[in-house]
Structure 1
């Protein structure tokens, strides 16, 4: 195989984010057939239920990206160099549908993952558990900033008083951006917990007062192609009635892929995240497995 992942991106204990364009109109029939060969019958059935062809193609791509990326990460991180075919991964699902590797594969690979897609982009977050990085909950979200969304009626329903007050104190032209920043963060935390909307969006909040702006290199085929803004030291608070408690065992961050898309990550580890980003298109991914 050729090296398509930045070596730094797969260091033990790192958070790797893979940004994958869902350009379904560019998916060839041969590529679609290759992905189908990776999927078990139940996943093929789920994809076939989509009425629109574009939705079926995106469904295939999402599943193909996840399986292929897990195999690439496993090959780079496993101490014995053992490879896992994309077709060999098996998943189980929480009560609210959160996917994870079956216990045997998670124990063998040490990999924890989460995925999110919005519009034309999919993001796959992968971490490897180590002796010093024990993680049980990981959530990622990507959101497209929509200019047509009336954000103000939503504030009272889903944001805490503190979040709404801080948002409304911003200049008008910054309020919509903060809304989608918060929405991505809230979705990432809900996905990490795996409870869906059973977890009230008002039971936790994010405080931006101590935020720090960093830079995140975006790699493709081993070379840096862009530098993304990344924001860290965002405070996660848990609300229990009138009390507010700092969730000091969690790490959260968000960044911007471009002007339209932002992403957020939440995980139950208070270590400073060493984050690496990779752009992965379906053609490059499938080429990695042509000889197998």
Structure 2
């Protein structure tokens, strides 16, 4: 009995400790975003500020607030910081949304072909996945040269193409598992009753894997929204994503503006949270689909 009580206590302690470790970065992000300038990098650290302020959020969205802050505290700011972050959210929303849609659409078609027609053989899905195992830094230099030659650098089309290419293997791999668990017999029955292969896919299979597709879309959207390397090397000022905007918050005299970066980081997580909340019913179903094999 004593051993069971001790084991239960240790398990609960481990769970609580794990939750604290997992949630501490979120707390620190939110806490830093409302700290005044002199508490951003104070030592000892200020765990909970007694002088909360929304100045960091005003700097993110209002150019005049950024200029006032530069004049009083930071000395000078990068020229990109002086502008509003609205463009960064607009660019990220356009690129991430379109790239996610393309990745999921092409991934669904490719996964269906692999599952139903055994396209490429048994090892074909692994060949797709190995593309994503390659570190992105290994292909950045040739991509910069190629995009410059095709005049796709610093354009929406170029960024969407790059994001789609590097998330497509994930889409194929995830959606493939959902299609495998959708009974092929239902498609066969539909075709016996007069449906074409395309009609059976759209009217029978797609509704069955809707949860899996939405779960995949959320995962791909998070990857696109948080991508930094391609946005850094394939753009030069016309396109600014939220990750680039966070990196741009630097003062010539004070270094990184941690409070402003924290505010931008806190705001940039809202689209992902809202998207996940809206599709949570389908998300749970999609992530558990296939957990029990037929």
**TM-score, scaled to structure 1:** 0.23
The structure with the largest helix share of the pair is 2
**Max radius of gyration: which structure?**
2
The structure with the largest strand share of the pair is 1
**TM-score, scaled to structure 2:** 0.23
The one of the two structures with greater contact order (alpha-carbon pairs below 8 A, sep at least 6) is: 2
